[in-house]
Amino acid sequence: MGLRKRIYDALHLDQGPLGDVTSLALIEKERLATAEFVVKADGGIVSGIEVVKVVFELVDPKIEFSPLLKDGDSVKKDDVFATVTGPARSVLAGERIALEFLRRMSGIATKTQQFVTAVEGTGATILDTRKVLPGYGELDKQAVRNGGGSNHRTNLSEMGLIKNNHIDVLEGDIAKAIQLFRAAYPNVPLEVEVRNEAELITALVNTPDRILLDNMDNEYTGMAVGIRDEFTNIHGTKIPLEASGNMTLDRVRSVAETGVEYISVGSLTHSVEAFDISLHISFNK
């Protein structure tokens, strides 16, 4: 199902069988309105402007949506970043859906930008995870990109990720897991999660495209980087390392300084703090 259809369905569910009965009862059909999207938060990164454009297109083609900024731009308190003009009933019909897309996506983008800034200069890339809003994951991931981060796999087909459960099925045989995956999907990138030094060495020897160090403390992460670097010096193959688990703004720079190439942060999308945005509406006489 395409994004436009999902947005249409969200609008339809919000309207219910009778539409916005309050506006229909109290606002005459001919009344026009002008509205401004205003930042109420102290500052951050705006994301979702292009989605809101689609929202209002679907509500009523008579609405004119005028963005003043683009997705990924910095904003500060009281900034106006888009305006809407059109039939008052229609503007109100799209208000809540538009705001919630903007609030969620801008919240994700702003938090991502904070993590990206925290690791600046270390060479580490901030990644999201698959812990996204079901059905709208591509919007969560767009917001991460707008905040300066990068996307991990967007779906289960894009990259293989051999995790603890898969390894346990094969009685701990990481080498066999990698070999089985490569035989089945030779052209699909592969990442392997490891839990200890022995699994790390086995993974390195079997050369996946990336190795995941999940829930390791900084000391163990640094040791893993050293083992990988030694392997690279001997064999000439540098396999990128990704750290994950319990990543906070207070901790993330120290993790980046261990030398890992990637840091995935699930909280970017699974614990979203909505970005405070309002729609200020005035009704034309």
User: pLDDT tens, 216-264?
Assistant: 999 999 999 999 999 999 999 999 999 999 899 999 999 999 999 999 9
Residues contacting 1, CB < 8 A, separation 6+: none
The domain spans of the chain are 3-106+273-283, 117-270
What's the first-to-final CA gap in the chain, in angstroms? 41
Nearest partner of 143 among 201, 96, 69, 73, judged by Cα? 73
Residues contacting 243, CB < 8 A, separation 6+: 213, 216, 221, 255, 258, 260, 262, 263, 264
Q: What is the mean pLDDT of residues 84-97?
A: 97
Instruction: Indicate the burial class of 144 (C-beta count within 10 angstroms; 0-12, 13-18, 19 or more).
Output: buried
How would residue 266 be classed by pLDDT, with cut points 50, 70 and 90?
very high
- Report residue 174 as tokens: 């990481």
Are the CB atoms for 113 and 148 separated by under 8 Å?
yes
d(CA 138, CA 122): 28
Q: Which residue has the tokens 């000439």?
A: 236
Q: Which amino acid, residue 45?
A: I
Q: Which residue has the tokens 């702003």?
A: 110
CATH of 3-106+273-283, one of 1.10.357.10, 3.40.630.10, 3.90.1170.20, 3.40.50.2300: 3.90.1170.20
**% of residues, the chain, pLDDT over 90:** 96
Instruction: Indicate the burial class of 245 (C-beta count within 10 angstroms; 0-12, 13-18, 19 or more).
Output: middle
Predicted pLDDT at 145: 98
Full-model pTM? 0.95
Whether 149 has a pLDDT exceeding 90, the answer reads yes
117-270 falls under which CATH superfamily? Aldolase class I (3.20.20.70)
Average pLDDT, the chain: 96
Catalytic residues: 96, 131, 163, 193, 214
Residues contacting 250, CB < 8 A, separation 6+: none
Whole-number CA gyration radius for the chain: 23
Query: What 3-state class would DSSP assign to 233?
Result: helix
Predicted pLDDT at 6: 94
